[in-house]
Amino acid sequence: MSKNNLPLLAFIDSSAPSSMSHSHLMLSLSRCPCAAVHLMFVDGANYQDLLHEMTGQKTVPNVFINKKHIGGCDKTMKAHKDGVLQKLLGEGSEVFDYDLIVIGGGSGGLACSKEAAALGKKVMVLDYVVPTPKGTTWGLGGTCVNVGCIPKKLMHQTALLGTAVEDARKFGWEFSDQGESYIQHGRKYEALHEETALTNRRNTAQLLGLRSPNANIESFSDPPSRNGKIPVNDEEQTNVPHIYAIGDILEGKWELTPVAIQAGKLLARRCDYVNVPTTVFTPMEYGSCGYPEEKAVEIYGQENLEIYHSLFWPLEFTVPGRDNNRCYAKIICNKLDNERVIGFHYLGPNAGEVTQGFGAAMKCGITKDQLDNTIGIHPTCAEIFTTMEVTKSSGGDITQSGC
């Protein structure tokens, strides 16, 4: 196709900022055949004289669509914003096999595709993970289902049950240390003691057949990301306007299944990454929502924050005689906003269950006064958040002598 027949033709000078802005716009319209004439590489002065004579415009870029003069950078950008540019280029007349293509069959990808399908769109999901050397393959569900959240929680529960068996003796349960054997249907069965070690190795999805000069995974990061993550703006848009990324692939975002699911749904409809309730399932569980203390200080300033904290002693720790100052609770409040809770932190039993409820409260803008006026359920661990009085700034004692 010759330049005379191209729908979009622009005369630019790459040293001019307005020309670079226009170039980015042209790249975003890459489905349309286009060409740019760089005046610094040709007889620029002669070209500009001719363009001035034809259009009355002295500046660059100088844009033509279907041989019709559009104008410079500002007019082109306005035409794009108003939708005029797309109409002149004939965009929207193409017929596509799918309305949406989702790369990755994990939690976020499936949530996005299901939501789009529910809205009446035709969706294709691409999912592939290279089998392990032993031939083990993944099913749909991504990291969470195959090697992440689900197996991790099951292994965590296994560890807790091991501790519970030991604690049970102190609650009065009796167990035999001897293996027992019995005969059933002529066969002898014996109880055996086994130890099993499980390993978790995250696989990296390899996208096959998705290579082109203008749209490949590596080009979504400039400069290229060393960890394989993709940077996006606040609307989860990559540097290619019609391609978005959600879930674990994002640079600097939460690698959490519920976040990916919510982001997928909202993207399909058209995420608040601050008030994300999350839990670390270590033997002593940790849950948080909102800002960590350091980030809150950075954003709001130390003088505008009040931080309440306390150690506590769960009732279930008293019988086995565990340390009474191992569990910790903290809330960070914004003094300029009626002591609204902007950070929640909990170290203790059942952190996931506790944090989930407080996460909902924080989405509703709960304040310290509302927490104080909440009737606690006794004896529970979450009750501590209704009775907090000691602030970090006071330097008061936060140790507890009983549940």
DSSP, residue by residue, 175-213: ---S--EEEETTEEEE-----------------TT---S
**140: DSSP letter:** T
* pLDDT value of position 392: 95
* Range with lowest mean pLDDT among 240-244, 334-338, 370-374: 240-244
Mean pLDDT of 67-95: 75
CATH topology for the 96-168+204-272 domain: FAD/NAD(P)-binding domain (3.50.50)
| Interacting residues of 368 by C-beta distance below 8 A, sequence separation 6+ | 306, 308, 331, 333, 339, 340, 341
- Residue of 197, 218, 398 lying closest to 310 (CA atoms): 398
* pLDDT value of position 208: 38
Q: Say which CATH class 3-89 falls into.
A: alpha beta
List the domain boundaries for the chain. Answer: 3-89, 96-168+204-272, 278-386
User: Residue 390 carries which side chain, given as an amino acid letter?
Assistant: V
Mean pLDDT of 232-245: 74
User: What is the rounded distance in angstroms from the CA atom of residue 55 to the CA atom of residue 80?
Assistant: 20
* Range with lowest mean pLDDT among 19-28, 253-262, 314-323: 19-28
Choice between 49 and 299, residue whose per-residue pLDDT is larger:
299
Q: Which CATH superfamily is domain 278-386 in?
A: FAD/NAD-linked reductase, C-terminal dimerisation domain (3.30.390.30)
pLDDT at position 264 over 50? yes
Entry field: residues in the chain? 403
* Range with lowest mean pLDDT among 55-64, 142-151, 345-354: 142-151
pLDDT tens track for 363-395: 999 999 999 999 998 888 999 999 999 999 999
Choice between 323 and 186, residue whose per-residue pLDDT is larger:
323
- C-beta pairs of 247-251 under 8 Å, 24+ apart in sequence: 247/104, 247/106, 247/107, 247/108, 247/109, 247/142, 248/106, 248/108, 248/142, 248/143, 249/104, 251/221, 251/225, 251/227
Instruction: Note whether 122 and 99 are within 8 A (CB).
Output: yes
Residues of the chain above pLDDT 70, percent? 72
Counting DSSP H helices and E strands in the chain, the numbers are 12, 13
- Residue of 287, 302, 126, 301 lying closest to 217 (CA atoms): 126
| Interacting residues of 18 by C-beta distance below 8 A, sequence separation 6+ | 59, 60, 61, 72, 73, 74
pLDDT tens track for 279-292: 998 888 999 999 99
User: What is the rounded distance in angstroms from the CA atom of residue 277 to the CA atom of residue 131?
Assistant: 33
Mean pLDDT of 239-257: 76
* Cα distance from N-terminal residue to C-terminal residue, the chain: 80
Active site residues per annotation: 378
Query: Starting from the edge strand earliest in sequence, which strands make up the sheet with 8-12, in order?
Result: 34-38, 8-12, 62-65, 68-71
The mean predicted confidence, pLDDT, of the chain is: 76
Measuring CA to CA, how many Å separate 174 from each of 57, 169, 317, 355, 366?
A: 94, 6, 19, 34, 46
CA 90 to chain centre: 36
What is the token pair recorded at 304?
Answer: 């505008």
Residue with tokens 């001897």: 178
* pLDDT value of position 40: 52
Residue with tokens 């304040």: 367
pLDDT at position 21 over 80? no
